[in-house]
Structure 1
Amino acid sequence: MNSPEKPSADGVRLSKVLAERGLASRREADEWIEAGWVRVNGVPAVLGQRVLPDVRIDIDPLAHKQQAQRVTVLLHKPMGYVSGQAEDGYEPASVLFTAANRWKEDNAPTQFHPGHQRGLAPAGRLDIDSTGLLVLTQDGRIAKILIGEDSRVEKEYLVRVQPMNPATVEPGQPMLPPQQMALLQQGLALDGKPLRPARVSWANEDQLRFVLREGRKRQIRRMCELVGLKVTGLKRVRIGSVVLGKLPAGQWRYLRPEERF
C-alpha cells in the first residue's frame, strides 16, 4: 500500500495546480485533498503538498457528486458521549460515525465516504447522561429547521422518573398529582422565561412521555425537578416525523431521501 507523499519544497502548491487546470477552486481542492479524493502519481495527496506542473493528478469520480450532496446522519447516542465538541475528557458523539458503526439495516442509497465526516455538526443536543436520536448534518438548511429560533419541530422523549422525596407519595396514589402534571404541560418557566406548552403523559408507572417544541439546556430534567421528580433515564425517540426505531445504541444510519423532519 502506497503511503502519502511528504509535501515538497519544490514545485507549486497542489491546490493551485488543480485550480489552474480548472478542476476545482482552491478551497474545493483543499477539501478534496483532506477528504482523500485526490491522488498524485497514484499516491494519496496531503494538504500543503507541492507538485511539478506536469504531475499526474487523479480525482475520485465521486468527488463532485459527494461534494454537492450534503449528508445527514441519524445516530443513536449512548451515554458517556457529548453532543458537540469534546469536553471534560469526554468524546463527541461524532466519533461514532465510522463505516464500522453503520447500521446493517440502513437501506439509504448513500455510500459511506470519509468526506462525509467533514463539516458534520449536531443539529440539537443530548446531555452526556441522555441517550437516543441525535442528528448530525452537513446541511445548514436542516440545522435551521431543527434548531433555528423559529423552529417548531417536535422532539419526543421517554423519561424514567422517581420521587425526589418518596415519603411524600401516599401508597396507592400517583407519583405525580394532577395539578403537578398540569404544571409540566403548561405553566413552568426556566431562567425567568415561560416554557412553550408541552405534551406530557404517562408511558407506564414510572416513565413519562414528553413532546416538546423547544430545547433549553437540560430542560426536561429541570422541569421534573420543579415538580418534585428526579430523572433516572432519558431517551429521545423522535424528531419531527423521523423516529429512532430499532437503530441500536452506538450505531447510525443516513437520513433517507424521502424522509422529512
Structure 2
Amino acid sequence: MQGNFVWYELLTTDIEAAKAFYGAVAGWEAEVTGAAGFDYILFKVPGFDMGVAGMIQLTQEMLDRKVPPNWSGYIAVEDIDAKARAFTAEGGSVIVEPQNIPNIGRFAVLADPQGAVVCLFKPNPMDGSMPPAPPAGSPGTFSWSELYAGDGDSAFAFYSKMFGWEKDMAVDMGAMGTYQCFAVDGRSTGGIMTKMPHMPMPFWNYYINVEAIDAAAERIKAAGGQVVNGPIEVPGGSWIINCLDPQGAMVSLTAPKR
C-alpha cells in the first residue's frame, strides 16, 4: 500500500449537483456519513460497501483562499509527520498540517516544490474484515494518476525520492516532451509530464474507469460537464477523455474501448 494512491476526494461548491453528475457519469451511489466528524459524502460502486471516493463542500476559508473545485489524491505513507518534513526539506510546503481524522486515520495536505497539491494518508489499524471492494479496474474505480508538472524530469526525481516510485514506460510526445509512467511495487499506476503552456499551474489529475469512452463522453455532456480533450487512444489500447464537471473540477475517464 505504501506509495500508492489509496483515496480520492472531490472538493466542490455544490454537493447535490455533484452527486447527480457523478451518479450519471460514473454510476456512483452517494451516501452521507459522519465518520469524519461532519457530513462527508461517500461515493460507492453499486453492490459494494467499500467507498471508492469521497466528497466535501468547499469551506468559506477555502473559497477565501481561492481554492477551486478540484479532485485530490491521497498517497499512503507510514509516517505522515516525517513525510511532511521531508516535503518541506526538499522545497515543498505544508497546506494542512498533519492531523487525525477521528476513527479513520491521519492525513496532511502538501504541495510539491512546483506547487502541485497532493495529500498523505495513514489509516488507523482495522479490527476485523474490510467490507467488499469492487475489483481493481472495474467501472467506477480509479486506475491512473497523472501529474502535469512545471518540469516533468525534476518532478519525477522528487516523487521518486519521496515515495520510491520507479520509472516505467516513457512515451515521446514530440513538442510536448516525454510522458514518464511510474510504477509502485512493479505496477504501473500513473504518469508525469511537463504541463502544457495554457495550464495555469501544476496539478494532479485522476482517471475513473468506465466501460466505453464514447458513451461516457455523451453522459458527461448530458449531465452538464465538458469534454476538453479526447477521445484519445493511449499506448496499450485504452481510450481516455479529459473533462470538467459542472462546477469546474477536472476529472478524466478511461475505458478499454470506444
Q: What is the TM-score of this pair, normalised by structure 1?
A: 0.27
| Greater C-alpha radius of gyration | 1
Q: What is the TM-score of this pair, normalised by structure 2?
A: 0.28
Task: Choose between structure 1 and 2: higher strand proportion.
Answer: 2
Higher relative contact order (CA 8 A, sep 6+): 1
